[in-house]
Amino acid sequence: MADSTMTEPQTRRSWGETFALIFHRKVLVMLFLGFSAGLPILLIFSSLSLWLKDAEVARSTITFFSWAALGYSFKFIWAPLVDNLAIPGLTTTLGRRRGWILLSQIAIIISILTMAFSEPTSSLTLTAIAAVMLGFSSATQDIVIDAYRIESAKGDMQSMLSSAYIAGYRIGMIVAGAGALYIAGWIGTEGTYTPHAWTIAYVCMAVAMLIGVATTLCISEPDSYRPSISVFEDNTNVLRFLLCFIICVGIFITAFTLMGPAFKAFKAWIISDITQNTRIAGFIAASLKLWLSIGFAAICAWLLIRLKAVPQEMLVEGYVNPVKDFFLKYGKTALLVILLIGLYRISDIVMGVIANLFYSDLGFTKIEIAAYSKTYGLIATIAGGFLGGAIAIRYGVYKALLTGAILSAATNILFAFMVDMDKSGSILLMTITADNISGGIATAAFVAYLSSLTSVSFTAMQYAIFSSLMTLFPKLLAGYSGSMSEELGYQQFFYLTAIMGIPAVILVLILSRLVPVEKLN
């Protein structure tokens, strides 16, 4: 165990064999499914941020909208159902994985259309509800696509599937980012809020989701899919589970809503008696309100379990066994693995929420942002993703992880340098290109790493836990990126996000020695 695993794997493919995998049928399938997974997320984050800014919504409120994507971080809660529950009609026709992918894609399209026809200036609540719906349905799609990918191939092929998935994911993000901005900028008038421009942009994004639907209808079920767990075949048990889940969600929403007035008063008390800084007071009040609401939902879940509203066998099979399997396999190092998972993406996620607002404040128009930040970065994004997979195949997943962690943190410093420079498209292009390449390497390597940690016996549940941990803390912190950037200034904010990447580098170096590549699946 003491020998470093930061060495070349025992069996290596040549560079020719490595890049030949790019044209494998399974790799191309994952490219299209990755597109379907990547398209919704920017419709909650950066594109929605610019829409809300156009509608003159406060910046602190805009960044709180990133919490609509918390479904990505809590998707492990309903992952056992997605992993095991048959959907009447769809499962028998398409298979369990394909049936769930199609259902989630339909839900995504409905959510995007709902957002398209909402109006933030008059119905901000409806926009928020639609964004939450989109986050939930998109997270569900991620659960199934991740399980499909892991079950579709073994060995180093996973690295290339991960690269294709990330490349497709980034293309989907570019379409939702650059595409939505191009459409909104082309139809609307720069400097003037034009609601119907954003409506048309979001409708076009809903139409683009049909690419994912077509892919789902053309592929076949993975051969390695395991039989369902018998306890989930009882419809009564499933209905009880769903009812309990709905009750807990209802408790969270009710608590969050009812505590609103109390926490406004609490914020005012903090401002008057503790600090005069309204942003810090808002941060404290909103954080406490969120975690108290989660606590009430958790207490509700505990009571329902104590009352045996959910069969104990379902809880054991769905939640306990996947976690137990992971800790039995990795022992004491499991905690370090969990820490790496939670911190690896923090640098780029926290920075990414504020990026478009930064470009806009530098004086770039929506069309320019779309061109420099998205369109010209497409080749760099795809290259970075496949380069990350190639590094993992040739030199091992840990070297790919280390490369990605270092570059992701370092490129944030480039954004800090831009603060004191005059507006320059060429400098922005170079910065965005470096950021896209490093992000592609880091994400592809990390997805391959998470896939290698997953047991085929608990594919969807374990990967859902890993990917939830991957985004939970970064996205919670990202909700305050607007307040942090206002308080610190852009330059200090970008330096801070770079520093956030240092723990990930250290953890990769430690785990490369404690958990050899051979122990990974």
| Cβ burial, residue 410 (10 Å; 0-12/13-18/19+) | middle
**Left, alpha or beta for 435 (phi > 0: left; psi -120 to 50: alpha)?**
alpha
Q: What is the mean pLDDT of each run of 10 residues along the chain (521 residues)?
A: 40 63 83 94 82 75 66 79 82 89 96 90 84 90 91 77 85 85 82 84 95 94 61 69 83 83 79 68 76 89 86 79 88 89 86 80 78 73 84 85 91 86 78 86 86 80 82 73 78 89 92 73 57
pLDDT digits 0-9 by tens, 456-502: 777 878 888 888 778 777 777 776 677 777 778 888 888 998 999 99
User: What pLDDT does 374 receive?
Assistant: 64
Place of tokens 């992701």: 408
Contact 438, 482 (CB under 8 A): no
Burial 139-177 (b: 16+ CB within 10 A, else e): bbbbbbbbbbbbbbbeebbbbbbbbbbbbbbbbbbbbbb
pLDDT digits 0-9 by tens, 135-147: 889 999 999 999 8
User: What pLDDT does 201 receive?
Assistant: 93
| Cβ burial, residue 360 (10 Å; 0-12/13-18/19+) | middle
The residues facing 189 across adjacent strands are 192
